[in-house]
Amino acid sequence: MRVLLVEDDKKISSALSKGLKTEGYAVDTALDGILGEQLAEINDYDIIILDIMLPKQDGFQTCRNLRLKKILTPILMLTALDDVSDKIKGLDQGADDYLAKPFHFGELLARMRALLRRGLDIKTALLEKYGVRLDLNTHVAYREGKETQLSTKEFALLELFMMNPNKILSRETISEHLWDMNFDPRSNVIESFVKFLRQKIDKDFNRPLIHTVRGSGYIFTDNEE
């Protein structure tokens, strides 16, 4: 999934970005509210992590502006102030959740997963489709009960496929969700990861699930394409 992190403290931003990337998220960062708003307008993010105390434009105004522009991406607000009035103000501006600093990184991840599940109407941390089971908490994948070891990016790609079954995903869509703004669209990275994932998910089974739709992209389905 692709995350926009709007945080002006460079040390916190760097640490969170590194941690999120380790967990398989593609992360774009902004150090002020205006740049954060601009990035949220031009890119398709799955979630926005938005600090309140920002230069140029605070998180409250940034959140409000995004909602006025009909950008409905889930927003998790961060603040050093554990004040009920600030929480109420943030939620009233359109934020979906609130986390006060200092926080445990594991709690941040859990809140992010909850927001992502809410947006997709998924009630648990398990994705199951066509005999494939994906545990979003432990990052373990199974097909028909057989555990499959996936890299962080392979897991993220399979998660994206399973969240969009029977839907053609173009290279552009995949890159928007799994890679940051520095991704080179001319590279063959996506094709390589799809190949790696097929070798692990489809290789030992008679029924392939990941199909190429020539000229369009890829689809996760149990129907032959």
Partners of 77 in beta bridges? 50, 98
Residue 146: pLDDT band by 50, 70, 90 thresholds? confident
For the chain, the average pLDDT equals 87
- Domains in the chain, please, with CATH? 2-120 (3.40.50.2300), 126-220 (1.10.10.10)
Residue 180's pLDDT is 78
pTM attached to this predicted model: 0.68
The per-residue pLDDT for range 129-139, each reduced to its tens digit, is 899 998 877 78
The per-residue pLDDT for range 5-38, each reduced to its tens digit, is 999 999 999 999 999 988 888 899 999 999 999 9
Token pair, residue 178, equals 């799994």
